[in-house]
């Protein structure tokens, strides 16, 4: 090719690039009810910076933590309508739309974190993600970890299931969670998380049940006296995307978003584990009194109430079989 021809041709190509309008940047909102310093939010924000870099600024995702865009039910509604593009949603809340999502909360189902992640990253997670997709949402492969849940209260230590009798325990408005604590004999009060601190402070409720990391980040230790290490259920946060917004992304951008957020979820799991090991000592210094729990008494009460048989029927054979592949027989 002659130099003149090459130069002329190159100029034409550069001109065509120069006049082609750049793709408009996508600005997305990621909303959840956790604090800004929670590992889920910290790792998500890191991932969003990497996504902006990897897409040359064409996909800009901003985090709105701590119920900034409304309570958990409102955020889920906004996600489904497309008012927000992404949401970190707990299975226990998501079950109002996707009933099988709360299977992660089956009481004393997962003996350890290794079993949890084998299930959530494996066949059980696949069943849940398929159900989420059917409801117009996309769930990424790796679920965030919130952690094992324990009791705190301001009245007395909870050492066995009998100690729950008469205690007013705040429970998030999930059918499985409500049934779990009702089956164990607690007096339950379903309140959204953004109302909980005030409810504990004013003794509208005696106690609550969340992971210890949440007790620390939400400052519940300021209005609670006792912490009982019941580890009664595990909870995660699903990494959710509005399906239409997901489909609007190019395959390249979908791959970038998936890779970066799945990577972030794994890192956040590690952070949560480290924090969970350190937070008990910190909460003790802040005044919480800790005690061990007779787990067998809780399990016996659940079995006697028909809890596991009832929820096996609720979730169906496919989901329950996937659960028991990892947990062993629960009924």
Hey, where are the domains in the chain? 25-327
328 phi/psi in degrees, rounded to 5: 80, 180
Among the four given CATH numbers 3.40.50.300, 3.40.50.1860, 3.40.190.170, 3.40.980.10, the one describing domain 25-327: 3.40.190.170
Token couple for 111: 């003996």
Block mean pLDDT (10 aa), the chain, length 331: 40 35 78 94 98 98 96 94 96 93 97 96 98 97 96 97 95 91 94 90 96 92 98 97 98 98 98 91 96 97 97 97 96 75
pLDDT value of position 217: 86
pLDDT value of position 331: 75
The alpha-helical segments, DSSP class H, found in the chain are 3-19, 39-54, 72-81, 91-94, 113-120, 123-134, 175-183, 196-201, 212-217, 243-248, 251-285, 295-304, 307-315, 317-327
Q: How far is CA 298 from CA 161, 304, 313, 323, in A?
A: 5, 10, 21, 20
Assessment of whether the complete model's pTM goes beyond 0.85 = yes
Select from 193, 280, 191 the least CA-distant residue to 237.
193
pLDDT value of position 105: 96
pLDDT value of position 14: 28
pLDDT value of position 52: 98
Question: Tokens 């924090």, residue?
Answer: 275
């Amino acid at each position: 090719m002659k130099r003149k021809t090459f130069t002329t041709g190159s100029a034409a190509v550069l001109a065509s690039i120069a006049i082609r309008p750049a793709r408009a940047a996508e600005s997305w909102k990621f909303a959840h009810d956790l604090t800004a310093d929670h590992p889920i939010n910290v790792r998500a924000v890191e991932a969003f910076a990497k996504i902006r870099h990897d897409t040359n600024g064409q996909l800009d995702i901003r985090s709105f933590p701590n119920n900034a865009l409304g309570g958990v039910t409102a955020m889920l509604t906004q996600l489904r309508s497309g008012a927000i593009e992404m949401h970190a949603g707990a299975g226990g809340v998501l079950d109002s739309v996707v009933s099988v999502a709360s299977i992660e909360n089956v009481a004393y189902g997962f003996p350890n974190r290794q079993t949890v992640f084998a299930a959530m990253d494996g066949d059980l997670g696949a069943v849940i993600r398929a159900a989420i997709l059917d409801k117009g949402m996309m769930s990424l492969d790796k679920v965030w970890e919130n952690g094992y849940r324990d009791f705190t209260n301001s009245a007395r230590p909870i050492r066995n299931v009998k100690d729950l009798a008469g205690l007013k325990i705040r429970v998030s408005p999930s059918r499985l969670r409500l049934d779990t604590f009702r089956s164990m004999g607690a007096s339950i009060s379903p309140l959204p998380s953004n109302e909980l601190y005030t409810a504990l402070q004013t003794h509208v409720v005696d106690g609550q049940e969340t992971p210890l990391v949440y007790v620390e980040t939400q400052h519940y230790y300021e209005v609670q006296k006792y912490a009982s290490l019941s580890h009664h259920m595990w909870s995660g946060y699903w990494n959710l995307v509005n399906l239409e917004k997901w489909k609007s992304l190019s395959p390249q951008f979908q791959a970038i978003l998936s890779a970066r957020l799945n990577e972030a979820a794994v890192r956040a799991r590690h952070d949560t584990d480290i924090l969970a090991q350190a937070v008990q000592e910190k909460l003790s210094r802040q005044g919480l009194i800790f005690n061990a729990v007779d787990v067998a008494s809780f399990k016996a009460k659940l079995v006697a109430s028909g809890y596991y048989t009832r929820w096996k029927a609720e979730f169906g054979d496919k989901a329950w079989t996937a659960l028991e592949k990892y947990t062993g027989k629960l009924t």
